[in-house]
Structure 1
């Protein structure tokens, strides 16, 4: 696959690889703490945004939409940054990716919102929300990848 279309990859722990098993056994507490602290920070940011930007029943849930799309954009940025631009400390990806962005994004709330909209008789709004979130979130990840790669190229030249 060409450089410009290749998706950034950051492998998670593969227990079949001895180095990965050793790394996991060396710092399991640090990994758990990094994910927990990051998750708490991300969840607090999400909670604050949802509280500040509420949607009346039956209306498009804009706060959750923006949270999920922006989280996907940030994930695209993060993955390119840590896999292609800069070598980072081992706990950066778990802290930011799994913790902060995992706690910030809320696809469970998204699915619950879709269900509630349908149950309340707002099937059209539910369908628009369902499709718009999925498509826009995927586009946001891709945009984050492209923007970060462009910025990385400019910084190197």
Structure 2
């Protein structure tokens, strides 16, 4: 179990660093209030997780440790948005439209609500 956690942690470490560097690079080149850096990180993470899972399905990357490093670790540290989108893709591919809509809407609405409540808690302190 320690080995698995180490592999995921190492991937997360690398993904977090890549996220910071790419976001900063993009924001330094697009001087605007729009969060281009985060958007590009999220879309890049989706592309990467799609490539990785595509390779897994073809059988090109069967090593469990490599799979965990690249998806849970690297992509998870880079952006959890990629995991969210991959899970939505799987629900759509399985034609589970009710779960797809529920997951998407609840994630966005509850996520925004949680951020708002968090801000309210801090203001109340």
Tell me if TM exceeds 0.5. yes
Query: Which structure has the larger Rg over C-alpha atoms?
Result: 1
Q: Which runs of 4+ in 1 moved over 3 A?
A: none
* Contact 2:49 2:71 survives alignment (8 Å): yes
What TM-score, normalized by structure 2, do the two folds share?
A: 0.58
1:8-157 correspondence runs (5 A) = 28-54=1-27, 59-105=33-79, 107=81
For structure 1, list consecutive stretches of 5 or more residues without a partner in the other structure.
1-27, 108-133, 143-157
What TM-score, normalized by structure 1, do the two folds share?
A: 0.47
* Contact 1:67 1:106 survives alignment (8 Å): no
Aligned length: 84
Shift of 1:31: 0.6
Give the superposed CA RMSD. 2.5
* Contact 1:42 1:103 survives alignment (8 Å): yes
Shift of 1:56: 5.4
